Amino acid sequence: MFAMNAREYNDRIMNGLFRDIYPLLAEQALARTGVKSGLCIDLGGGPGMLGIRMALSSDLRVAIVDPLADCLAVAEENIARHGLTGRITTRQGSAEALPLADGEADLIVSRGSIYFWEDQGRGLAEVYRALRSGGWAYIGGGFGSQALRDRIFAEKAGDAEWTEGVAERRRKNPPSHFRTLLAEAGISGEVRSDDSGTWIVFQKPARTK
């Protein structure tokens, strides 16, 4: 399982280096899916900044799901700091075994976590299972815009471990890889790669009467 220092990651990355990407990513996810109410899952959300921004930009209730208890503890602090206690909850669990009932979620978003899933195909199948009829998934990684990406990379230019890690994850996870996973899972969706990053987007078909 991927491990991190939750508080350091929260302070230096999510509320530091990456602080400007989450409002933009939330706007992009909401615009692409059109989901503005119901239950949103921030999958692999760590300290929860994407989920918080999803709540602030919509009428969604949000649950932050992450396998690491330390991250969820920090997420609860962030939730309280933004005045969202009660509207955002946390649940411990992995992508491969989501702590969600069938059809429970209206929208599942995830930024960056899919690169660390132990079984990406199973994780995508679990996301599909947990979506309601007509629900949406918006899963991938990126920085929201080319300008934000360039600024972040400039700030991290001296950190060879970080830049090499980003490059390796891209090599191992090209858009074609995600398209293959969707096809193998029998999920109809799109994989797009642009200035906002690489994103897997799909809608669970609505039931027909």
Q: What is the pLDDT of residues 109-155, one digit of tens each?
A: 999 999 999 999 999 999 999 999 999 999 999 999 999 999 999 99
Query: What's the rounded Cα separation, in Å, for the pair 172 and 175?
Result: 10
Query: What's the rounded Cα separation, in Å, for the pair 84 and 55?
Result: 8
pLDDT at position 3 over 60: no
- pTM of full prediction above 0.85: yes
Find all residues with CB under 8 Å of 48, minimum gap 6, and list them.
42, 64, 72, 74, 75, 78, 79, 88, 90
Sorted by where each begins, the domain ranges of the chain are 6-203
Task: Please give the C-alpha separations between residue 118 and each of 7, 8, 57, 121, 170, in angstroms, as whole numbers.
Answer: 23, 23, 31, 9, 16
> Which CATH code, of 3.30.1330.10, 3.40.50.970, 3.40.50.150, 3.30.470.20, is assigned to 6-203?
3.40.50.150
pLDDT at position 107 over 80: yes
Find all residues with CB under 8 Å of 15, minimum gap 6, and list them.
47, 49, 78
Beta bridge partners of 66: 92
pLDDT at position 2 over 80: no
pLDDT at position 1 over 70: no
